[in-house]
């Protein structure tokens, strides 16, 4: 699987910590959109889709959640629980977000603006597209 765990440099002292995120430096694409999820109950599963063109980096800036990644052949679970670590998710990667801790805040950096046509929302359709790629 070609996802990547990114470790961000932490700048800090007795006043606290700071992480800087920069396009094409520690984020491997131009950042065109940022959004975040919060107040997600642990029993809910979010995501359940893949993208044809969009790349993303997911960061649990507070709390923890599990990211399930599936490239059509292999399925893997990754725990996000540090604000100085991000998960790079490339194109044609099915993703699900689950097991949100109470108070979890999951931030997503995206390589493009929202485009409904870029989404693959059916797992069966995803498997067909990956097989033909």
Which residues are designated catalytic? 49
* Closest to 120 measured CA to CA, from 53, 29, 46: 53
- The token pair that represents 46 in the structure block: 């979010």
- The token pair that represents 15 in the structure block: 């006043």
């Amino acid at each position: 699987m070609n996802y990547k765990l990114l470790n961000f440099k932490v700048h800090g002292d007795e006043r606290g910590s700071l992480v800087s995120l920069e396009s094409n430096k520690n984020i491997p694409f131009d950042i065109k959109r940022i959004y975040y999820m919060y107040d997600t109950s642990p029993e809910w599963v979010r995501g359940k889709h893949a993208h044809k063109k969009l790349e993303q980096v997911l960061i649990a800036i507070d709390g923890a959640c599990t990211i399930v990644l599936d490239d059509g052949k292999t399925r893997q679970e990754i725990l996000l629980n540090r604000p100085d670590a991000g998960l790079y998710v490339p194109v044609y990667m099915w993703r699900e977000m689950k097991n949100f801790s109470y108070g979890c805040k999951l931030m997503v950096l995206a390589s493009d603006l929202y485009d409904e046509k870029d989404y693959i929302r059916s797992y069966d359709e995803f498997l067909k597209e990956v097989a033909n790629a």
